Amino acid sequence: MATDATAGLPCELTLDIPFPDARLASVALNAIRVDKELSLLVKRDLSVIPADGSSDQSVLRVEYKAATNRMLRVAVNSFLDSLALVLEVMEELDVDVVEARQKENSG
Give the C-alpha separation, 67 to 6, whole Å.
11
100 binds another protein (CB under 8 A): no
**3-state secondary structure at position 48:** strand
Contacts with another protein, 16-35, as mask; x by CB under 8 A: ----------xxx-xxx-xx
95 binds another protein (CB under 8 A): yes
Beta bridge partner(s), residue 63:
14, 45
Complex with another protein: residue 30 or 68, whichever CB lies closer: 30
Report the alpha-carbon angle 98-82-78, nearest 5.
Answer: 165
Applying CB under 8 A, the residues found at the interface with another protein are: 26-28, 30-32, 34-36, 81-82, 84-86, 88-90, 92-95, 98-99, 102, 105
